[in-house]
Structure 1
């Protein structure tokens, strides 16, 4: 299988945590499900495509954006789902309206290195879509991605290595006592009784300088690659 290296830039981005409601908290890097969704959207895939991902990168700072979110409910229903965000949105007159402020955490000047390993045909489809100039986003729809570079790369196995950038690393690759922020990231879901049941992957979010004493991969740029499975 081929491995595609993507060097991406986003001026701003919010990779919202699933249970963040009153405050839109963001992950420090896009979770695997978000990256997978970007790839699927890029090639217009409507079924799940098996792939392996490695996600690492940096951002300059975090700032807080103030937004107004609008809620509505039908007169015959007690439900109050979120349906609109932003300002100056036309709302049907028969709906009862309320609104609330929402603070959204956003990352500024995000630089990502993402490795995608998949069947050769899938990698070629991704490259074709990129070369056609298709617009893509990562996170929210407004978080546009600039593809600085893309290239299929050869990987070589090494016995150990040291992280150069913040990265998601599967827990089983981290040494006991190593400092990291634990996350259980969504990957893909199945529908069980009309409810999404997510497969989650346990990772540690680490900073540069973390020693890895397990067999891992290195690409042609001497960047470590931490596939999620």
Structure 2
């Protein structure tokens, strides 16, 4: 392995429940089986206290490579009501656009819409973060051990999908991870990115060699008009990466292998 590939930090996370929303689903809100890259990147921004895309630390974050693996015990579907702020929904509920009272009680504007939400139970994730700058990974590690810089409660998915850190590894040199062929059912889902580190060669299978469902996943983003408004919650314009979703059955493939976790590592190269 080239020394320029840098260092790797492994993070194990447990979540009692999680929902990683598939964005184009509405009435029935489907979830990915593991979080997309943008969710993990947002989590890192939260951990590191990055609230400004002009900060040097955000530019450092842009150079990160991420591998995401995970599994869950079961999936349930919750039935709930979401607030609908359309004018027609308000009129359907209150009878006129001027009225906000039903049965003598003043209510919130709009109406309500029934929504089904798929929720994963007993989720366990394994994240591998790679970076050329060891000190940056050390900051991530320290910030997870003592999250005093966090912008809000640490979560992955919805705001209520809190996390438990089960393991923070030491910072490994890239050379600690071997290129191997390990035929197994790893019983984890993996995102296999089209652009990866290391790139496909004699020691690593290429993207076309893997089976899996194709997805276009969001990665990094810019906030529209951020320079003028300073509003980090503004409309986000995402970059996307083509990936395959693997169910963990890998045979006849060569990949980066973490001997400690006994899992393959597929590092997405967002600059590739």
**What is the TM-score when the length of structure 1 is the normalising length?**
0.81
How much does 1:159 deviate? 5.0
Match of 1:166 in 2: 189
Consecutive unaligned residues of structure 2, counting only runs of 5 or more, are: 1-5, 89-105, 196-205, 226-233
d(CA) in 1 for partners of 2:138, 2:247: 32
Match of 1:147 in 2: 165
Q: 4+ runs of 1 displaced by more than 4 Å?
A: 191-195
Kindly indicate which of the two structures has a greater share of residues assigned to helix: 2
Asked if the contact 2:191–2:243 (Cα under 8 Å) also holds between the matched residues in 1, the reply is yes
Match of 1:114 in 2: 127
Residues 1-229 of structure 1 aligned to structure 2 (within 5 Å): 1-46=6-51, 47=53, 48=58, 49-50=61-62, 51-72=64-85, 96-118=109-131, 119-132=133-146, 135-151=153-169, 152-154=171-173, 155-158=176-179, 160-162=181-183, 164=186, 165-171=188-194, 173-176=206-209, 178-190=210-222, 196-211=236-251, 213-214=253-254, 216-221=255-260, 222-229=262-269
Match of 1:88 in 2: none
Question: When the two structures are aligned, how many residues end up with a matched partner?
Answer: 210
Consecutive unaligned residues of structure 1, counting only runs of 5 or more, are: 76-92
Asked if the contact 1:175–1:212 (Cα under 8 Å) also holds between the matched residues in 2, the reply is no
Kindly indicate which of the two structures has a greater share of residues assigned to strand: 1
Larger Rg: 2
Asked if the contact 2:9–2:129 (Cα under 8 Å) also holds between the matched residues in 1, the reply is yes
RMSD after superposition: 2.6
Cα distance change of structure 1 residues 68 and 190 upon mapping to structure 2, 3 Å threshold: same
Deviations 1:80-131 (A, max 9, x none): xxxxxxxxxxxxx696421101100011111110001122222111121222
d(CA) in 1 for partners of 2:252, 2:123: 25
d(CA) in 1 for partners of 2:208, 2:240: 21
